[in-house]
């Protein structure tokens, strides 16, 4: 479905990352991929993951808080690929202390950091990617239900995801005339590095599975396959949307 397409994926930290499940699905669909990781610490992880199944992938270090690294990343993409068909944004961060207790107590610093890394990075990366998407393109980011409804403990990340989802709509409007589509996937809870250490995450997973119409939690592969759909021409009429891949959890009232 994605033969002859080239794309870049931000946010593989390890094999549990949603970005990795997405990369595997995109690769299986025939796409050529570039990966970015944050700092040398994660380089080995991404190298060992890609070396077996996707040799020849382009690996680049990129911290979105450093504009020079972002510029260098897209410079390399232009050199190596000459163009881009899709971009996967699968990055988020908030200081740990902001993800427990009350949202009321969020510090200015925690708020700004969470919004900068988790939301501002979407327009930031889209701005650099768009000039490479000469034949149209697709930009996909990862959101969560806490953007829309209060989920205890999600706190400032919920506010950041609300900004990410609104950014998706404004970017879709800006980039639509260039045939670049921008969508978000709202994934159900998945046990990843980010989720690890979140108090009561296991309880949350259980509650989610019990309440969801499908009676289970989402498999990261299902998120990846939805990303393939959003990057392919099968979704050519869809932009500015938030698509729930959560086993139906979000439709429930009581
Ligand atoms: P993950 O594997 O920990 O991925 C998060 C990624 O963000 C990591 O690769 C992390 O790198 C990267 N990142 C953080 N700060 C960065 C920066 N300044 N520059 C570049 N990259 C940075 O966790 P995940 O669960 O797969 O998260 C991926 C996305 O899915 C996030 O947007 C998350 O909010 C979203 N999501 C997750 C769930 C869930 O339940 N897990 C549900 C819905 C949506 P470092 O490890 O180096 O910080
Ligand atoms: C971050 C973290 C972003 C955890 C995340 C996230 N997006 C989804 N999750 C999983 C999650 C986390 C909480 C939650 C529900 C789901 C951790 C640190 C950095 C960014 O609360 C009910 C807290």
Q: Is 249 in the pocket of ligand 2 (CB under 6 A)?
A: no
Ligand 2 atom 21 nearest Cα: 154
Domains and CATH numbers, the chain: 6-251 (3.40.50.720)
Atom of ligand 2 nearest to the CA of 187: 8
Residue pointed to by tokens 């980039």: 175
Q: Is 7 in the pocket of ligand 1 (CB under 6 A)?
A: no
Atom of ligand 1 nearest to the CA of 91: 7
Q: What is the pLDDT along the chain (254 residues), one digit of tens a residue?
A: 999 999 999 999 999 999 999 999 999 999 999 999 988 878 888 999 999 899 889 999 999 999 999 999 999 999 999 999 999 999 999 999 999 999 999 999 999 999 999 999 999 999 999 999 999 999 999 999 999 999 999 999 999 999 999 999 999 999 999 999 999 999 999 999 999 878 889 999 999 999 999 999 999 999 999 999 999 999 999 999 999 999 999 999 98
Cα 80 from Cα 183, distance rounded (Å): 26
Are the beta carbons of 35 and 47 closer than 8 angstroms? no
- Indicate which residues carry an active-site annotation: 144, 154
Q: Read off the pTM.
A: 0.98
Q: Count CB neighbours of 185 within 10 A.
A: 26
């Amino acid at each position: 479905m994605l033969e002859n397409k080239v794309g870049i994926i931000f946010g593989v930290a390890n094999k549990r990352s949603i970005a990795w499940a997405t990369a595997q699905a995109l690769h299986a669909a025939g796409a050529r991929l570039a990966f970015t990781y944050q700092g040398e610490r994660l380089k080995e992880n991404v190298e060992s993951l890609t070396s077996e199944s996707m040799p020849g992938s382009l690996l680049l270090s990129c911290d979105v808080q450093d504009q020079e690294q972002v510029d260098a990343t897209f410079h390399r993409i232009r050199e190596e690929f000459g163009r881009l068909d899709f971009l996967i944004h699968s990055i988020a961060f908030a200081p740990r202390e902001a993800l427990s207790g009350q949202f009321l107590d969020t510090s200015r610093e925690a708020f700004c950091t969470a919004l900068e890394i988790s939301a501002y990075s979407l327009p930031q990366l889209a701005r650099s990617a768009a000039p490479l998407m000469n034949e149209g393109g697709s930009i996909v980011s990862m959101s969560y239900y806490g953007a829309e409804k209060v989920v205890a403990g999600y706190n400032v990340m919920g506010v950041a995801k609300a900004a990410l989802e609104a950014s998706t709509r404004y970017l879709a409007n800006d980039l639509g005339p260039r045939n670049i589509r921008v969508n978000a996937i709202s994934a159900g809870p998945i046990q990843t590095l980010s989720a690890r250490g979140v108090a009561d995450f296991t309880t949350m997973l259980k509650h989610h599975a019990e309440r969801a119409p499908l009676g289970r939690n989402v498999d990261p592969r299902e998120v990846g396959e939805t990303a393939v759909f959003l990057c392919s021409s099968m979704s050519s009429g869809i932009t500015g949307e938030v698509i729930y891949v959560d086993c139906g959890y979000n439709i429930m009232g009581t």
